[in-house]
Each structure stands twice: as structure tokens, then as C-alpha cells.
Structure 1
């Protein structure tokens, strides 16, 4: 949907001037209060840090990834210095080299090279995105406060390690539960908070109302990630062969920028138990009683929403921090199963059946639901939820 490389270059090379002008104009406008703090997304430090220094304004980093991904990002330079990154081809992670242990990362246990953010999978040391992320990791000390979208009990070792690297680290999450409280209180601000990049279609909830409890797999690969046409076919036929009910969100550009065209036999076979949908209110879907599992891309927003809803996951990470998220979902938290990146219908069928009917799926569901109850209890105790 957007050119990530172009965005990185723009933030780094062209936004400092206009942003500084904005802060200056606000400071000279008597009709508005002066700027006393800048809250920035972690990737915007190249734009905001010079302005903050120029005007003497404190900075607050807000990282919308979780602590594990932030710590992993801070290790990218060390990977390069140790000759482990950048990689010349993604295939390097599919053999024994991808299992190279990384036992020196603070707070992160049993990490392998393949568990690191995908930014190591590039073709040269001058790659824009790799160096952009390395520099972001180096600039985490340039701020007054760092806020991370996670909660303490989810990754205590990582947050302890992160606090030794960056001063004044605070957690605030899950954010969507905080927003729900704002909406319940009917505050003025809640009317202006929108959390989706795409228009939602609520009729999917009516279809879910007709399904039995814990009988549906929700499939959504996020608002940006895409797959090839062949991968979409493998997903489709695997779901068809699994004999499970499913709600599948298919963006118009989900298949490498093109409209998805699925096999006729898939459509005919799943007509009574499948629903192909445009964008939907994901949080409400995940909390619907008919949902048993979530086939997803391991984006952090989707991950934390699924954890909050007590829904186990089938994980097919695509890019960014998603591989790191996948490692924690499957290995550390025990609430997910990892799917091979190549996507084969036999594996989709097998994992869908295991999630919905197998013993491993039952254990994951129990653990996920227990985590949901504990999380809600702690948020109420802390006064974040009524």
C-alpha cells in the first residue's frame, strides 16, 4: 500500500525542516498552548530529535511493537559486526544457517538467526531499511521516556533487559482495551479515535452469530502483508480440505496488489461453511463465541488482540518483526503453531485440523483462555479497566 523505502528516505532527508517549522509556529501562536513535549513513533526520531534539541523540548518514544522486537532491533548492528547479517538470500534461513543460536541477546532465550526481524534478509550492507533500523536502535537513548505497547507479565525478562539499555522504559498495553474503556465512558476524544486503515464491514458478525461456539477459524493476514497467487490458492485448498468453518478476510490488494482469484472448486466446496469477507471489526470478531482460532501474519496488533481475546493462533509471519513475534507465540507462550513460509495445502489442512480438533489445539486454547482471564484481572486490579 505504501513504498516503505521511500517513507524511510523521506523521514530521514526531507521532514526535519517542515516539522521544525511546525513546532516553531505553534510556539509563536498565542492562541494555542506552547509545545512542552513531543510523543513520537519510534521510527520518526530522525525527524523529531533535531527539532526537540533545537527548541529544548522533551521527547517520548512510543514503540507499537513489543519489547522483544525492540530488543531484537537493537541487536541488528551486532549481527552485522559478527558477520551474521545482512543475508544475501532468504533461503539462508531455511537451512541449518537459520538455526544459528544467538545466546548473547539480553533477556531473550533460545533465539536463532531465523527468529530475528526480517530486516536481516537483504542483499547488501548499504540497504536503506537495514541501516534505517540500525540507526533507530542506536537513537533509543536520545529520548526522555520510552513507552512500549506491551505489559509486564508477558515478557518480564525482556523488559528488565531493555530497562538496562534504555532509561525510563514504561509499558502501556493492551492499548485496544484502554480505547474500549474510553468508548464506554463516552468521552469526547473517543469519537475521534479510529484504529483501522480500511473500512469495516459489520455483516460478518451476523454470519458468525449462526455458527456453533468455537467452530470457526478466523483468517486475516493484516492490512499490509500480501501473498502470491499460488500461496492464496494453497491457503484456500488447505482450508477446504480441513472441513473447518472459516471467516477469511481478503483485502482487494492481498495477492501482491491484485484481486484474489480463488479456484472454483474451493468456492463450491466451502459455500456452506466459509465466508470470504472484506475488512471487518477484528477485535469484535476475535471475541465472538464462535471463533476458535486465528490464522494470522503475526503482526503485533493482531497478536495482542488475539492474546487479549484468548484465541490461539496459526502463524504465518511475512516481514518486519513478525518472525520474532511468531517465535514467542509458539515457543515461549505456547499459544500458536508455526506454518511454513512457502504455504502448502497439506500443511494448512493439518494445522487447521490440529487447532480445531487436536490435543495440541485444546492445550493451546486452554492456555490462551487462562491468559485472557489473568490479563483482564490484572487490568482491573490496576484500575485500567472497570
Structure 2
């Protein structure tokens, strides 16, 4: 009897690749043949960064398609990348599926696409393949997407997504309040890019709504109000490597393995972990204030400093900083975040509040100090600080800078607040129980597996 064959395609950004890769590995361990489709640019980076001790490529077949851009093009321009993908990849994906389906024993049973790749769901629909939309951010933001037509009709936003005025909205009585100025497409500073992103988001609503199944990397314990109001969105998360006793995959950079040995040498609940994902960029002034703020705390810290987090990063530190903190601070280019957050020495997470970072922090019972950069991170910050009450927000001064004293003072408040720690530990227990036998995410995932096999 042939194995059911699932094809998965993420949006080409690390925060989208990691959870879908986790889903792919879970499906492989449930007896599926799995093909994972990245863009050529991302495919090479993921392959190069795979952990050597777990042969992912024996479990899933990893293939690539062109994204239509030149190798020298800047893929952090999300609008330009998305337009190019829309022009080139539907035809490429169609041809790939036709090649695979040429073999009677290899035929694709189901296509799972990141909802932001709605065109892939349309390709599956035309080819008569079961189609599943995967949402990698907070489910509340998918609900917001579905509400766009009524937000326009009610005069809350205009046809380009811009808020008509600064006000608070609530999509349903059970859901958290949102500020119109913080709607995730509104938090893009460049006007042309903002309009383009909004147009692309509007375009994915129809294929996402018409998918046969809609699954989310969230938990009923995290967003019960959203799932009560939108029962068609099925939470199957958190999708974490630790749930399958495996190693994290889908990273674009090789991890600094030495940082775990360094963490072993630190006292329990002492280390400040600082990481801002793969998109955040700081100017030199803000980068220096962060460094000096960490120095002021007089506590051990592990700081992930990507090569492109600021201009000329090797020379960006304040004079003498590296020497002064060498015995208690460690700066690394990349880490396996799930391993770091699960380490008993980590006490607090200074985070950009990406959704993966949010659920990874909660899953390890770590309170947050929130420093969002753009898009959905602004909502996630509000969710962490105002709704779940498991973190505090860093505030900018009149010049738009988060100062060293603000960093030091807020860190001391987070580390001294027993209520924050108790709430995040309670939430940790609940969402981890959700993915264990008998839990809501466990049941949803197993029902989903049975539906694909049917």
C-alpha cells in the first residue's frame, strides 16, 4: 500500500519555514511521504544549516523552485519578493506536481501551503488535490484578515488598509482589543510597500477561506477567544522540536553550539537572553544603547547579533564594551533558540515578539521584555503585556530611542515580578498539556492526519 504523499510550501522567511518544517517532520513520523518546497535561495541556506546529528533529508524530500529574483536582489523587500513569487512560482509548482504525479505511486494526496502563499492553494484546487492553509502567526491576525471587507465598509480603514482614525476595535466579544494604528499591515513605514502588502493580504483571503482545512500554529490555551469565534481555524500547536524529541530545523544560519556550554556555567535563572529574529535592524545609536543597557544590568547575558542587525556590526559596539563584559556576556551570530530557552539558566527573554519566539518563550516558562520591530510583532507585544500579562514593554524616548536606563530598569522589574513568572509557568503547563495525549492540539492534529489519509 502506497504512503499518502503531502507537499508543503512555506513563505520564504525563517519565521514561516521553521513551523512548517516542524509540521513536515511530524507528518513524516506519522507515515507520510513528505515533499518540502522552498525557493532556491532559501533551500540552499536551510540545507547548509541543518543539524548534522539528525538526517532530516532521510525523513522528508527537500526540493526547490525559483522565486523569479536575481541572486543579488534584496529579498528582505517583502513586497517585491511577494510580487515576483506570484509571477513565477504558480507555473513552477504546477509543473513540479505534474512531474511527481506522473508516477502512480508518488501522487500528491494533499498540499499544505502557508496561507500567505494563497496562489499555491489555487494550484492545488485546479489539480483536484486536497488543500490546507497553514497560518504561522497568531490566529487572531487571521481573524483580522477575514474582517477586512467589513472594516472597510464600517469606515474603520480605507481601501488601502489605512486607519481612518486612531481607535480600538474588537473583532468579537471573546477576543482581545486591537488598536487600529497597530494593525499589522499599518506598521510598515514605507507607504508603497504598505499598500502593496495590504493588497497581497486581501488577495489571500479567498483561497484561505476556501481551503479544505485551516490549521494554525497556536493553542486553544493561548487564543481560546479567537478559536471560539472562528471554529474553522484548528490549533495544532505549539509546533516545537521538543514535542517529537528532535532537533530544531529550518534555520537559515548555522547555530553557535558553544553557547550551550557557556549557559551550563551560569547560575539557574540568571541569564538575560536577547534575540530579535531575522528581520530587525537597528541604527548605530540604538545598537549602542542596547549594549550599554545590558552592561548596566551587571547580569550575565546571551545576545544574538546577526551580521546584518546593524551596519558594520563588527565595529558597532561601544568602545571597550567587549572587554568589559567578557566574563558575563556572550555575543553570538545565531543560536538554536528552542535549546537556549529551555536551558535552566535563562531567566528573561528580550524579544522582538515574533510569533515563533512568543510561543517558544511561553513553552519554556520565560517572561518577556518586549521590543517589537514591525508588522504582527506589535500585536504580539500587546498580547504578551496587556492580555496574557507575562511581560513588560520597553518604551522609546521623545527621539524614538530605547535608552540604556529604560532597559536596565525594565529588566529589574521583569526579574523581580513573581506574578509574571507564575502566570507564564501556568500558561506553559497548559499549552504543553495541549500537545500531549488527550490535549486539544493533540486531538486536532490526529484528526487532521486521519482526514488526509481518508
The aligned counterpart of 2:126 is 54
Contact 1:216 1:247 in 2 (8 A): yes
Q: What secondary structure sits across from 1:204 in the alignment?
A: helix
Q: 1:174 aligns with which of 220, 224, 238?
A: 238
Instruction: Name the CA distance, whole Å, in 1 between partners of 2:212 and 2:315.
Output: 46
Is the alpha carbon distance of 1:40 and 1:243 closer, same or farther for their aligned partners in structure 2, counting shifts above 3 Å? Answer: same
2:430 corresponds to which residue?
374
Contact in 2 for aligned 1:220/1:296 (Cα 8 Å): yes
Q: How far off is 1:299 after superposition? A: 0.6
Describe the shift of the 1:182–1:73 C-alpha distance in structure 2 as closer, same or farther (beyond 3 A).
same
**Cα offset for 1:76?**
4.2
1:124 shift after superposition? 5.6
Which residue of the other structure, out of 21, 34, 37, is the alignment partner of 2:110?
Answer: 37
- Aligned counterpart, 2:205: 137
SS of 1:37's equivalent in the other structure is strand
**For structure 1, which runs of at least 5 residues remain unmatched after alignment?**
185-189
CA contact (8 A) 2:306 2:333 kept: yes
Counterpart position of 2:280: 225
How do 1:140-289 and structure 2 match up within 5 A?
Answer: 140-163=208-231, 168-176=232-240, 179-183=241-245, 194-255=249-310, 259=314, 261-289=316-344
**Cross-structure match for 1:187:** none
Distance 1:5 1:345, change over 3 A: same
3-state SS in 1 of match to 2:207: helix
Deviation at 1:260? 5.9
What is the match of residue 353 of structure 1?
Answer: 412
Counterpart check, 1:317 vs 2:384: no
Kept after mapping to 2: 8 A contact 1:87/1:120: no
Number of residue pairs the alignment of both structures matches:
360
Unaligned runs of 5+ in 2: 1-74, 444-454
1:218 Cα deviation from its structure 2 partner: 0.2
Paired residue for 2:11?
none
CA distance in 2, matches of 1:29, 1:119: 46
**Contact 1:62–1:148 (Cα < 8 Å) also in 2:** yes
Distance 1:169 1:53 in 2: 19
Q: How does 1:3-18 map to 2 (within 5 A)?
A: 3-18=77-92
Would the aligned equivalents of 2:353 and 2:372 in 1 still touch at CA under 8 Å?
yes
2:418 to 342, 358, 362: 362
Contact 2:222–2:431, Cα closer than 8 Å, also in 1:
no
- 2:338, 2:121 → 1: CA distance? 34
CA deviations 1:86-121 (Å, max 9, x no partner) are 588xxx99xxx65x2113456423321244214454
Q: More deviation in 252-261 or 141-150?
A: 252-261
2:141 corresponds in structure 1 to 69
SS of structure 1 residue aligned to 2:436: helix
1:77, CA displacement in angstroms?
4.7
